[in-house]
A and B are shown apart, each in its own frame.
Chain A
């Protein structure tokens, strides 16, 4: 427990002392929301729905990059190989990273909700929040796992460009920026096969008070497991090459 605490503390301190990373990460999804979504949101239902999309986008941004680029940078870092010689299993350090990313994701989502409250007629009853929270956490976990897999699959230098190459289309095609029906036909056809779209199919009902369809949960869990297996394999492979 003490170890989890000190590792989490170190991660959080690092985050707070790099405002150049922290502030843009917090503001970017809200800025996008203000430019492209907020002006069109005249009704409560649309505001609720779209705020959900952009909250997921904020959580996606944080978890995907925190684990993707963050892990990739650590791969060649001599400090992280030193910490592996300390007498503690890696679980404490990894858990500390998950906690830090969760904290950051929650912060980014909160900034977005705040922005939405100030600029749109959003109105979400309190009882819906536990379901919203659950879907965001589940999706964040999935995207963090995907980020980790990419971090171990590609070279550290390629991690950022490749992450961007996956992140932007995934957000767009998943329906995080605009409703599916406004997208081009081809995009609409591809969309259902993407993890981001399956995630949105859980977020939207949570926002509007609709029912969940079990298939989307199954899809989300399956994607997460697949990404975790891929990450585990890639990490093992990477270690075999380097050590």
Chain B
């Protein structure tokens, strides 16, 4: 086991950020922590990278305590891309981080991989948002770590940069590296992860393959106008106001087929994606009611 959480509780002020969380990361896997904002993902990560200690329970990194600096030699972390020391150049920041590791990548290699080679001598204060984000992610890999922790790595990236970053994560994984990724994009977890752990309100709700998770929280909204609707299967939640229906479902295709075959008179059909936050609320409410 490369990283593990056993019965971890953590309070931040009055908020129970983590409640009895147990989670094990196997070497070589790509584990995605998925959850809406405020679910406890960042708190969980902060325990693993040695920034905080749990109130109770145990956090282990490579069989050691992550609060111990030498244990963190196998670990690469992304900083927040807004906080670089503004007076340093890109290559100087990379060099500073690189010096902490026993067998780091070559500076040029690290810059190359993340498309930063032309920016090497630029001051970090002159980077665009996307460029700074790429530098932040490059820093997680520059120490040639065995475990990389990426906290929402693609938030704020354009589609092209996001794809490029996903490629690098896949390359790292092919070479045997382990990745712990937090995200609130279901799509990202689906694209990359071997296993997804669903976190909500500080608890592990469930874990499974990306497909299993998608089946649980991958909801869509079907909007339509109709006077009345027949009985429909596969409806998670339905709202209805003045002839306008909103139906929440895991399989919008099947739902539309049902509508058509039922012969009901409807208009203005629209199928919309549902944000993870909304899907979570719908899924959680359904469970609590059941």
Contact B77 A82 (CB under 8 A): yes
Interchain nearest-CB distance for B173 vs A (Å): 21
Interchain nearest-CB distance for B179 vs A (Å): 16
Closest to B149 in A: A85
CB of B286 within 8 Å of the partner chain:
no
Contact A82 B79 (CB under 8 A): yes
CB of B277 within 8 Å of the partner chain:
no
Q: Which of A12-59 contact B (CB under 8 A)?
A: 13-14, 17-18
Interchain nearest-CB distance for B38 vs A (Å): 18
Report the separation of the CA atoms of residues A119 and B130 in the bound assembly, to the nearest whole angstrom: 55
Contact B87 A18 (CB under 8 A): yes
Closest to A15 in B: B87
Q: Which of A78-109 contact B (CB under 8 A)?
A: 78-79, 81-82, 84-89
Report the separation of the CA atoms of residues A85 and B51 in the bound assembly, to the nearest whole angstrom: 7
Query: Do A243 and B46 contact each other (CB < 8 Å), given the known contacts A78-B83, A81-B51?
Result: yes
Report the separation of the CA atoms of residues A123 and B85 in the bound assembly, to the nearest whole angstrom: 43
Residues of A within 8 A of B99 (CB): 2-3, 6
Q: Which of A13, A18, A81, A86 contacts B92 (CB 8 A)?
A: A13
CB of A7 within 8 Å of the partner chain:
yes
* Cβ proximity bits B23-45 to A, threshold 8 Å, 1 near / 0 not: 00000000000000000000000
Number of interface residues of A (CB under 8 A): 21
Residues of A within 8 A of B71 (CB): 87
Contact B95 A6 (CB under 8 A): yes
Q: Which of B72, B83, B84 contacts A86 (CB 8 A)?
A: B72
Closest to B71 in A: A87
Contact A84 B50 (CB under 8 A): yes
Closest to A18 in B: B87
Closest to B124 in A: A79
Residues of A within 8 A of B122 (CB): none
CB of B88 within 8 Å of the partner chain:
yes
* Cβ proximity bits B56-86 to A, threshold 8 Å, 1 near / 0 not: 0000000000000111110101011011110
Q: Which of A2, A10, A84, A243 contacts B85 (CB 8 A)?
A: A10
* Cβ proximity bits B91-103 to A, threshold 8 Å, 1 near / 0 not: 0100111011100
Closest to A16 in B: B87
Contact B51 A84 (CB under 8 A): yes
Query: Do A14 and B85 contact each other (CB < 8 Å), given the known contacts A86-B72, A243-B46?
Result: yes
CB of B52 within 8 Å of the partner chain:
yes
Report the separation of the CA atoms of residues A87 and B77 in the bound assembly, to the nearest whole angstrom: 11
CB of B196 within 8 Å of the partner chain:
no
CB of B165 within 8 Å of the partner chain:
no
Query: Do A10 and B96 contact each other (CB < 8 Å), given the known contacts A78-B82, A243-B46?
Result: yes
Q: Which of A18, A77, A81, A86 contacts B100 (CB 8 A)?
A: A86
Contact B70 A87 (CB under 8 A): yes
Residues of A within 8 A of B197 (CB): none
Contact B87 A14 (CB under 8 A): yes
Max chain B C-beta neighbours (<10 A), residue from A77, A84, A86: A86
Residues of B within 8 A of A18 (CB): 87
Contact B69 A88 (CB under 8 A): yes
Report the separation of the CA atoms of residues A79 and B77 in the bound assembly, to the nearest whole angstrom: 12
Contact A13 B79 (CB under 8 A): no
Contact B75 A87 (CB under 8 A): yes
Contact B96 A7 (CB under 8 A): yes
Query: Do A79 and B85 contact each other (CB < 8 Å), given the known contacts A87-B72, A87-B75, A88-B69?
Result: yes
Report the separation of the CA atoms of residues A14 and B87 in the bound assembly, to the nearest whole angstrom: 5
Residues of B within 8 A of A82 (CB): 77, 79-80, 83
* Cβ proximity bits A68-82 to B, threshold 8 Å, 1 near / 0 not: 000000000111011
Closest to A77 in B: B83
Max chain A C-beta neighbours (<10 A), residue from B50, B79, B82: B79
Contact B51 A13 (CB under 8 A): no
Residues of A within 8 A of B70 (CB): 87
Measuring CB to CB, which residues of chain B are less than 8 angstroms from any residue of chain A? 46, 49-53, 69-73, 75, 77, 79-80, 82-85, 87-88, 92, 95-97, 99-101, 143
List the 9 closest A-B pairs by CB distance, nearest first: A78-B83, A82-B79, A87-B72, A78-B80, A79-B83, A85-B49, A17-B87, A6-B99, A243-B52
Would you mind naming 30 contact pairs between A and B with Cβ atoms under 8 Å apart? A3-B99, A3-B100, A6-B95, A6-B96, A7-B96, A10-B85, A10-B92, A10-B96, A13-B88, A14-B88, A18-B87, A77-B83, A78-B82, A78-B83, A79-B79, A82-B79, A85-B72, A85-B75, A86-B69, A86-B77, A86-B100, A87-B69, A87-B73, A87-B75, A87-B100, A87-B143, A88-B69, A88-B100, A243-B51, A243-B52
